[in-house]
A = this chain, B = another copy of it.
Amino acid sequence: MNTRQSGPGTTAQHALEGLRRAIIAGELRPGQRVRQEEIADNLGVSVAPVREALRVLEQEGQVEYRPRRGYFITELWASDLAEIYALRQVLEERAARKALPTLDDDAIERIALAARDCAEAAERGDVAAELAANRRFHFGMLESPDQVHTMRLIRLLWDSTESYRALYYNSPEERAKTVHAHDAILAAVRRRDADALVAELDAHRSRALEVLTRVLDGGGER
Contact = CB atoms under 8 A, between A and B. Distances in A.
Contact of A55 (B52, B84, B157): B52
A79 B145 CA distance: 11
A51 interface: yes
Interface of A is mostly: helix
B59 A148 contact: no
A146 B148 CA distance: 27
Interface string A1-31: 0000000111001000000000000000000
Contact of A56 (B59, B67, B84): B59
A83 B51 contact: no
A191 interface: no
A15 to B, nearest CB: 11
Interface in A101-160: 146-150, 152-153, 156-157, 160
